[in-house]
């Protein structure tokens, strides 16, 4: 079954005529994703390798039946693209763009949550359901199909853990990069809720990092609502307070948002936290064997 993306996904890429959008959009199609449209204002009627381009998302929904939007447009225009997709009735919006102003996301968040749209990102690598569909920049060849649900604030760290899992012969139901910004569309809790309901997912791995309190909230949620085993990894134990560690959201403010605090919150709820990516993969393997 998998979550967020599956065989019913009909993808529209905002920015398909740009270099990033084109490269990754076509890679997603080559993987087997049903890429039905691109949107670039002013280029409606053209095509990219046979994929029709529309001027607006609404036209892509009407004309091509798009239900999932992948956003590759520059930061200044990305919020507009998010609202446009939500208002066009798209079910799932995935935004890869980095450096969207936090205030813009704050307002957008309040809006799309009210509309019932599933939003992933921004500043994320996208979503991959191995064997079904890929939307974003996750290198699909590293992953195989299986029962591990992976949710992470980071891209490459997810690849690292996915790779370690693959080496141990384990596959994934869905890999969800929720993004490294202070405000993202879906939290750990939102994604874990979907994994809990998903038949294919047998075990959930949460990959967190310093900053904010979403890992702590996830720990509390898991203890109350989740029956499947959950394992975790947290990055940033050596990070100094007050410094942004690559991701806009990866910052320890005063004494809050530390890796140690998150580890303790998770362990207090019975969620094991691996010390290295390798150890996490081994823990998964021993639980599933």
The set of catalytic residues is: 247
Q: Which residues of 116-127 are buried (b: 16+ CB within 10 A; e: fewer)?
A: ebbbbbbbbbbb
Q: Rounded to the nearest whole angstrom, what is the least distance from the CB of residue 242 to another protein in the complex?
A: 9
Query: What DSSP assignment string belongs to 191-227?
Result: HHHHHHH-SS--EEEEEEESSSSHHHHHHHHHHHH--
> Is 75 one of the binding residues for another protein (CB under 8 A)?
yes
- Please identify, using beta-carbon distances, which residue of 199 and 224 lies nearer to another protein: 224
Tell me the β-bridge partners of 136: 126
> Is 159 one of the binding residues for another protein (CB under 8 A)?
yes
The helix (run of H) or strand (run of E) holding residue 106 is: helix 102-115
Q: 154: exposed, middle or buried (C-beta count within 10 Å: 0-12, 13-18, 19+)?
A: buried
Cβ neighbours, 10 Å, residue 14: 30
Determine contact, residues 208/215, Cβ cutoff 8 Å: yes
Stretch that binds another protein, among 8-16, 50-58, 107-115, 260-268 (CB under 8 A): 107-115
- Please identify, using beta-carbon distances, which residue of 13 and 53 lies nearer to another protein: 13
> Is 152 one of the binding residues for another protein (CB under 8 A)?
yes
- Residue 102's φ and ψ, nearest 5 degrees, are -60, -40
> Is 267 one of the binding residues for another protein (CB under 8 A)?
no
Hey, what are 144's tokens? 């195989």
> Is 248 one of the binding residues for another protein (CB under 8 A)?
yes
> Is 121 one of the binding residues for another protein (CB under 8 A)?
no
> Is 76 one of the binding residues for another protein (CB under 8 A)?
yes
Stretch that binds another protein, among 9-17, 54-62, 87-95, 228-236 (CB under 8 A): 228-236
- Please identify, using beta-carbon distances, which residue of 193 and 213 lies nearer to another protein: 213
Residue 19 CB contacts under 8 Å (≥ 6 apart), including other chains: none
Q: Rounded to the nearest whole angstrom, what is the least distance from the CB of residue 207 to another protein in the complex?
A: 7
> Is 110 one of the binding residues for another protein (CB under 8 A)?
yes
Q: Using CB under 8 A, list all residues that contact another protein.
A: 75-76, 99-103, 106-107, 109-111, 125, 137-139, 142, 152-160, 163, 180, 182-183, 207, 209-214, 217, 233, 235-240, 243-250, 254, 259, 275-278
């Amino acid at each position: 079954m998998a979550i967020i993306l599956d065989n019913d996904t009909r993808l529209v890429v905002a920015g398909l005529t740009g270099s990033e959008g084109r490269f990754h959009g076509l890679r997603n199609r080559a993987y087997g994703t049903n890429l039905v449209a691109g949107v670039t204002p002013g280029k409606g009627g053209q095509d990219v390798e046979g994929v029709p381009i529309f001027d607006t998302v609404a036209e892509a929904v009407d004309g091509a039946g798009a239900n999932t939007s992948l956003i590759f447009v520059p930061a200044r225009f990305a919020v507009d693209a998010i609202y446009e997709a939500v208002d066009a009735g798209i079910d799932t919006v995935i935004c890869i763009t980095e450096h969207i102003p936090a205030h813009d996301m704050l307002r957008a968040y309040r809006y799309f949550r009210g509309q019932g749209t599933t939003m992933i990102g921004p500043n994320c690598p996208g979503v991959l359901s191995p064997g079904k569909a890929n939307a974003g920049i996750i290198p699909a060849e590293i992953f195989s199909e299986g029962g591990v649900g992976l949710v992470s604030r980071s891209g490459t760290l997810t690849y690292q853990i996915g790779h370690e899992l693959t080496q141990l012969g384990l596959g994934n139901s869905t890999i969800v990069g929720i993004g490294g910004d202070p405000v993202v569309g879906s939290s750990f809790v939102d994604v874990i809720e979907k994994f809990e309901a998903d038949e294919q997912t047998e075990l959930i791995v949460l990959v967190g990092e310093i900053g904010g309190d979403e890992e702590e909230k996830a720990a509390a949620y898991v203890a109350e609502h989740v029956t499947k085993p959950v394992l975790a990894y947290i990055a940033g134990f050596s990070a100094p307070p007050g410094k942004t560690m690559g991701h806009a959201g990866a910052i320890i403010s005063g004494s809050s948002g530390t890796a140690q605090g998150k580890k303790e919150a998770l362990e207090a709820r019975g969620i094991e936290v691996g010390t290295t990516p390798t150890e996490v993969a081994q823990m998964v393997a021993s639980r599933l064997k």
